[in-house]
Structure 1
Amino acid sequence: MKILVVDDEPLARNELQYLIHKIDDTHITHEADSVEETLTALLSETYDLLFLDINLINESGLDLARKINKMKTPPMIVFATAHDTYAVKAFELNALDYVLKPFELNRIQTALEKAQARMQSEELPHKQGNPISTISVQLDDKIYVINTHDIIALFVEEGKLNIVTVNNHYVINEPLSAFEKKMPQDKFMRIHRSSIINKNHIKSAEQWFNNTYQVKLTKDVKLQVSRSYIKQFKHEIGLN
């Protein structure tokens, strides 16, 4: 599960991520300390769950939740706060759970179990349907239909989404998250908060700076595997 921890206190973010990984170290966690940083993260990556503080510096987690709920596919939200006075407002915003500081392991585990249960119930209809084999992108006045089999990688560079295929390279003004769930999950994997690759187009991988990897793909496309995705990457390519 991909989790974004939003809190303006570094110690609170660290404690929450520690507990999450203690419960299940396969979870991928990132962090943000403000509304702006959170919205930026949500534009570049699809998260399953947010642990969201209510009192951010000069900002409101409740207001942020209202904005997130307007997304086409919003992540689940667990409010994580030191105050118990906002619970009613939180659940009016469709909060999955409401946990209080100081965090307790069993309460965080309960919240994660709720999230897993909801994800499983939502994924069942998709598993019973047919996988998407094509995506469409619009450039100027033309719409291009792309076979997902031909896609080598999708990555964000200089604020624009690049879709590299075996025959073309498209640059569009769309968030990466808009395409992630459209990709066949058995063929595509995220290796960085700003990039997704087609496993069938991996040619090689070598160790890179700071214990990361650089993966080489078809057409000599080279992308970095960030530290947050190293464990998942190794598992996907059979290294552990």
Structure 2
Amino acid sequence: MEPSLRVLAVDDEPPALDELAYLLRNDPRVGHVHTAPDATEALRVLRDTEVDAVFLDLRMPGLDGMDLARLLQRFARSPAVVFVTAYDDRAADAFDLGVVDYVRKPVRPERIAESLRRVLAERGHGGERPAPDPAGADVTIPVELGGVVKLLPRSAVCWVEAQGDYARLHTADGSHLVRVSLTQLEERWTEAGFLRIHRSYLVRLDLVTELRLTGSGYVVTVEGHQLPVARRHTRALKDRLIRPAKQHWTA
């Protein structure tokens, strides 16, 4: 089956952006191309849309391409990065960031085709499930607050609530709606200490202060909020919460 990549093209020069988007759309391996004229708009796109790769100009006003690439490394859903630039003086720095390719302008169709081949190779031909985020890395999620895109660290998230195809990230001082499913976050955040306790809830275990049996089943308390625990998730929750505590005190 032909892969269908979702790609974001970012360039502050409209003719260059149009040409790049045109070349990407003409490749049969690309299913959809989003565009952005700067890094700020790119963050807005990434807040609402999951993409497989970002084709990114290096020199832009405000946040430049290198700055944005560093931010992308910390995202909960980190896309592959391809730099598209008229300059070659920062190629070494770019590959230190783990970018997939570094393309010189003017861009040729065959060069874009090669970059897409590298993206597919890096993504396992688009057929693999996403790898869990590193447990020790505080990945970042772009969220919008008052019309401004903010970068929310995962460490600020207390629990996550499913809302259809979206997820609401609850923090100590508010909540943020992001376009990602609870199942995707469960797959990526389990190694970082989050556990699914219900079809609608994913909680950060180190913030659970109480597990209590009520007339309708178990509930947990997280940051003062009570959340239900589904029967099928109860054993896994007890294993993760109670057994380590017993081992600690009996050691």
Length-normalised TM-score, structure 2 = 0.53
- Cα distance between partner residues in 2 of 1:111 and 1:33: 21
Distance 1:122 1:16, change over 3 A: closer
SS of the aligned residue for 1:66 comes to helix
Q: Given residue 83 of structure 1, which amino acid in structure 2 is its aligned partner? A: Y
Q: Which moved more, 1:88-97 or 1:26-35?
A: 26-35
2:22 to 13, 18, 25: 18
- Matched with 1:91 is 95
- Cα distance between partner residues in 1 of 2:79 and 2:160: 29
Q: Given residue 42 of structure 2, which amino acid in structure 1 is its aligned partner? A: T
Q: Given residue 75 of structure 2, which amino acid in structure 1 is its aligned partner? A: M
Q: How far is the alpha carbon of 1:27 from its aligned partner?
A: 2.1
- Give the alignment's Cα RMSD to 1 decimal: 3.2
Distance 1:58 1:124, change over 3 A: closer
- Cα distance between partner residues in 2 of 1:94 and 1:175: 26
Q: How far is the alpha carbon of 1:112 from its aligned partner?
A: 0.3
2:42 pairs with 1:27: no
1:73 to 55, 73, 77: 77
- Cα distance between partner residues in 1 of 2:71 and 2:29: 30
The C-alpha deviation readout for 1:177-209, integer Å capped at 9, x for no partner, is 3648469xxxxxxxxxxxxxxxxxxxxxxxxxx
Q: How many residues align?
A: 153
Distance 1:142 1:28, change over 3 A: closer
Report the identity percentage.
Answer: 30
- Matched with 2:165 is 154
1:62 to 61, 66, 76: 66
1:8 to 3, 7, 12: 12
The C-alpha deviation readout for 1:66-107, integer Å capped at 9, x for no partner, is 111111221000000010111001001110000011001111
Query: Where does 1:74-223 land on structure 2 (aligned, <5 Å)?
Result: 74-120=78-124, 123-124=127-128, 153-154=164-165, 173-177=176-180, 179=182, 181=184
In structure 1, the gaps of 5 or more residues are 127-140, 162-171, 184-240
